[in-house]
Amino acid sequence: MSPTLAVAEVVVITSKETMIYDVSGVQLQQRWLSQKHYISNVKVDIVDLPESSDVRQQFYNLVVKKNGRSLNAYWAKKIFLGKEFPPEVVDTNQQVVNWVSEKAGRIGYVDNKYLNERVKVIFSLSTLNGDK
């Protein structure tokens, strides 16, 4: 019998004050690729976890659908053409939760075990995995 690996359940969160209640994977993809800056008419700021993070890798594989060199090349072109930059990076899931809860209009993705009462879930990657 092989050992069971703990796989994080990744969710997208925002502060309870933010007037966003539901988002689609496409909306998140567009926002993380800087193709759109508004979701439900709310200007949204976003943040990333480090490239080494499993949570980030799940989010980018399933939602953003770009990773590694492909993502680097995408940003190289985007930065060159316009005035867009990749999201800022924070080190931990807890920092994402803290950053999101500080101000309305911020969203981030985290392992759902870090959720607290100051944030709400607006998207779950489990809906993409089909194990809702």
Partner 1 sequence: MVINKMKIKQLLFTILLLSNFTPSYADTFVGLFGDLTVQDSKNAPFNSDSYGGVLDFYVTHQFNNKTTGLLELVYDDTEGEEEVEIERLWLQRLIVDKFNLSVGRFHSRLGSWNKLINHAALLQDTISSPFFLELRGGGGVFPLHVIGLMAEGTFGSENVSYMVMAHGSQEINAVNNNGRFVIKPEILFSGSSSPGYSARILLKNSDSSRYLSGFMMQTDVSLPTGFPVPTAMVVSQLIVGLDVGQQLSNWKITAEYFYIRNDVVNSVASYPAGAYFIQTSYLANERIKLTYRYAGISVDDNDPYFQVFSMTDQSHHVADLRYDINDEHAIKFELDYVDFSDSVLTNTLTYKLQWAFLFD
Q: Residue 22: left (phi > 0), alpha (psi -120 to 50), or beta?
A: beta
Q: Which of 35, 94, 116, 127 binds partner 1 (CB under 8 A)?
A: 35
Q: Residue 62 burial (CB < 10 Å; 0-12/13-18/19+)?
A: middle
Q: Residue 57 burial (CB < 10 Å; 0-12/13-18/19+)?
A: middle
> Is 16 a binder of partner 1 (CB under 8 A)?
no
- Provide, rounded to whole angstroms, the least separation between the CB of residue 80 and partner 1: 6
> Is 113 a binder of partner 1 (CB under 8 A)?
no
> Is 121 a binder of partner 1 (CB under 8 A)?
no
Distance CA 99, CA 94 (A): 9
Interface with partner 1 in residues 36-95 (CB under 8 A):
36-38, 41, 43, 69-70, 72-77, 79-81, 83, 85-86
- Provide, rounded to whole angstroms, the least separation between the CB of residue 73 and partner 1: 4
Query: For residue 13, what is the enclosing H or E element?
Result: strand 10-15
- Provide, rounded to whole angstroms, the least separation between the CB of residue 83 and partner 1: 6
> Is 25 a binder of partner 1 (CB under 8 A)?
no
Q: Which residues bind partner 1 (CB under 8 A)?
A: 35-38, 41, 43, 69-70, 72-77, 79-81, 83, 85-86
